[in-house]
């Protein structure tokens, strides 16, 4: 905008990324700049089923997978992240749930690499 005076950073569109609101003194308005970074689905190993920006595999991912498989059937934000057992076809099912429970609570075995 014209004559930026002040900048405020917050996740304005609730997508997990900081956006900018700029107060423009000359034009007496506010410009909104959305951070539209390109998200790459599944880096390194699987497990970040809820697409946490910090790429952490935890109980939130377990809850997301349970909801996807049994409760709300909500589509996953990254299907590849949920392929915990490394199924070559990429099928996400109860085997992935079992593998995630094993990873989080029992053997702590690493999850499969991303495909």
What does the alpha-carbon distance between residue 65 and residue 76 come to, in Å, rounded to a whole number? 8
The H helix count followed by the E strand count for the chain is 2, 3
Domain, as residue range, for 8: 4-33
Same domain, 25 and 45: no
Same domain, 26 and 50: no
| The two three-digit tokens of residue 12, written as one number | 């304005």
Same domain, 25 and 71: no
Tens digits of pLDDT across the chain (115 residues): 677 778 988 888 877 778 888 888 888 898 888 887 665 789 899 999 999 989 999 999 999 999 999 999 999 999 999 999 999 999 999 999 999 999 999 999 999 999 8
* Per-residue pLDDT, 15: 72
| The two three-digit tokens of residue 106, written as one number | 């029992």
Look up the pTM and report it.
0.67
Could you give phi then psi for residue 75, rounded to 5 degrees? Answer: -60, 145
* Per-residue pLDDT, 1: 61
């Amino acid at each position: 905008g014209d004559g930026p005076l002040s900048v405020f950073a917050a996740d304005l569109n609730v997508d997990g990324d900081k956006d900018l609101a700029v107060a423009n003194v000359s034009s007496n308005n506010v410009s909104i700049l959305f951070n539209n970074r390109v998200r790459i689905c599944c880096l390194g190993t699987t497990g970040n089923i809820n697409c946490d920006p910090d790429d952490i595999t935890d109980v939130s991912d377990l809850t997301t997978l349970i909801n996807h498989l049994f409760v709300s059937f909500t589509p996953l934000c990254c299907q590849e992240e949920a392929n915990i057992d490394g199924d070559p076809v990429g099928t996400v099912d109860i085997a992935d749930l079992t593998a995630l429970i094993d990873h989080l609570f029992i053997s702590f075995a690493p999850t499969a690499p991303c495909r």
